[in-house]
Chain A
Amino acid sequence: MNNLIKGEKHDWEMVIGLEIHAQVKSNSKLFSSSSTKFGSSPNSQVSLVDAAMPGMLPVINKYCVEQAVKTGVGLNAKINNYSVFDRKNYFYADLPQGYQISQYKYPIVGEGKVTIDFKDGTSKDIRIVRLHLEQDAGKSLHDQNPSKTYVDLNRSGVALMEIVSEPDIRTPDEAGMYISKIRSILMYLDTCDGNMQEGSLRADVNISVRKPGDEYGTRCEIKNLNSIKFIKQAINYEAKRQIEILESGGSIEQNTMLFNTSTGKTRPMRNKEEAHDYRYFPDPDLLPLEISEEEIGKIKSSIPKLPDELKNKFIEIYKLSNYDASVLTAEKQTSDYFNETINSDSELKNHAKIVVNWITSELFSLLNKNNQDLNNSPVSPENLGQLIKLISKNEISGKIAKDVLEDMFSSGKTARQIVDEKGLQQVTDQGEIAKVIDEVIAENPKMVEQYLAGKDKLLGFFVGQAMKLTKGKANPKMLNDILKQKLNKKN
């Protein structure tokens, strides 16, 4: 695979690392009992701790610690028995404390790795440097008033897991696959809801360019990207910008950038004179966090099957391709749906590939068209299973099955009901099909002549006519076979 970008004088390689911020799926905040519910009215979920009232003390949420450990295990990472909370000091209107409680020198999770799978069957490991727990800040609204910024502290103090990768990523696509994989792991573990629109999962991207084989170049950091599309766009734009500067003889200034989603461009943050000096130091309000091997073991044993494991299982049991299996397991709801469908009838196990196709192409496209999600699919796994069984038993053709599925989707009826009500059973009676074909041949003598004269393409015309007469219900294979037989007899 060629990962390089053509330049004026030579090719360039991107070097990319991601810092992913994943909100821990918890009821209450990291150091206070305020609710973490999304979309509540402003400042309604702010305790005196979150508002940093003098004298308030943080008390850590046990569940959030466990979720961080769980995630660390899912990232094949080392869990640290000893970690420390530090204060990261900076001033901003949505940070009432004047510091963020984070982990600096001693994070809760150390080195790990995740694997991304390419379409061509190859894969690549992306190394994880660390995962640490920290507080989220509040939310600032800058565009509501020309002279004011509005601040909502509901998010202030919510637990985040920051997952930092090594600069192992080389293309925008790899960056997209990496964050998708992290999202998938988080959702299987149920430690983060993975909702990028609501900001539960967002990323900062570090990017530099270099001549292949050279040392790393100077990097820039693009802050706060909340969709895979924007991550790819921002990387593409920023790499191009850096290459242009370098090729015209300039040098890259290390900078923090913002990405404008409407123009597709990056620009440096304005307050860069505040060269970051966070003055980290251990938070004197919090003792070090100690986790015993026993606790880690307990959490490990509670971990469900993760996507890679499930993928291998699907390949082994159902003989699916690596690609089909990775599509199925990318999201937990998809693999759950597949499992329920295929287990709804013992015969379906022999038709796994058909089940995959009906879920990932037909059902997904209907859901997309109707802006719905597999979680609230109007077609239940059992009903889809029944439909596939009708196909596999030749009771209906694949083409008619598509109409039946649409009907199931809008009416909520079962496949059986629809097929019976509308009389859609496939015609598999040889005599009946032969009769229809005779009719078609008798009505189109000229076409028959042309076909016999070598215009093979006309076969499709006869098939179409016969299908029309049977309202699409003729078994396509039988129709083809009998048609060919009859036409050739004419010769």
Chain B
Amino acid sequence: MKIDKNTINKIARLSRIKLDDKESEDYINDLNSILDWVEQLNEVNTEDVEPLSNISSSILPKREDVSKDTNSSEEILENAPDKLEGFFAVPKVVE
């Protein structure tokens, strides 16, 4: 797999990151060398091997269904650049 200009633009757009031409070029090179390095793994035969999603053998910890009163609005909104009557106010998202 090779990363080209189109791919890097698409990834940047999906990540909401603005790249200039120089940066795009740098990322193309960086990502390609990372991919090349990782591609060495293709030499291993992985047929019939499920992808490993976790290296730990522990099981998913679960909690009981108990709700804790957070009454959080003040704390949660503390970092909001703009708010109104307990709501976050963001630039209009029109659908």
Contact = CB atoms under 8 A, between A and B. Distances in A.
B18 interface: no
Nearest to A42: B86
A43 B63 contact: no
A293 interface: no
B90 A290 contact: no
Contacts of B65: 26-28, 61-64
A209 to B, nearest CB: 25
A51 interface: yes
B68 interface: yes
B79 to A, nearest CB: 9
B16 to A, nearest CB: 6
B3 interface: no
B70 interface: yes
A29 to B, nearest CB: 8
Contact of B60 (A51, A60, A152): A60
B60 A46 contact: no
For A46, A142, A147, which residue has the most chain B Cβ atoms within 10 angstroms?
A46
A237 interface: no
A150 B76 contact: no
A60 B63 contact: yes
Contacts of A61: 62-65
Contacts of A269: 95
Interface residues on A, range: 35 or more
A341 interface: no
Contact of B91 (A51, A65, A92, A147): A147
B6 to A, nearest CB: 13
Contacts of B70: 33-35, 44-47
Interface stretch (A9-17, A280-288, A367-375): A280-288
Given A28-B68, A89-B14, A150 B84 contact: yes
A287 B59 contact: yes
Given A41-B86, A43-B76, A46-B76, A28 B58 contact: no
Interface string A58-76: 0111111100000000000
A270 interface: yes
Interface string B55-95: 01011111111111111110011000010111111111111
B94 A142 contact: yes
Contacts of B61: 59-60
Given A44-B70, A46-B70, A47-B70, A149 B56 contact: no
Contact of A34 (B60, B67, B82): B67
Nearest to A147: B92
B54 interface: yes
Contacts of A303: none
B53 interface: yes
B91 A148 contact: yes
A423 to B, nearest CB: 56
Given A147-B91, A147-B92, A150-B84, A46 B67 contact: no
A43 B77 contact: yes
Contacts of A46: 70, 72-73, 76
A153 interface: yes
B64 A34 contact: no
A281 to B, nearest CB: 9
A390 interface: no
Given A43-B88, A59-B63, A62-B62, A258 B95 contact: yes
A390 to B, nearest CB: 47
Given A42-B87, A92-B93, A149-B93, A63 B64 contact: yes
21 contacts: A27-B67, A33-B68, A35-B70, A36-B67, A37-B67, A42-B86, A46-B70, A47-B68, A47-B72, A51-B72, A59-B62, A60-B63, A61-B62, A62-B62, A65-B62, A142-B92, A149-B90, A149-B92, A150-B88, A152-B86, A287-B59
Given A27-B65, A91-B16, 12 more contacts: A27-B67, A28-B65, A34-B67, A42-B85, A42-B87, A46-B76, A51-B72, A60-B63, A142-B92, A148-B82, A150-B89, A151-B89
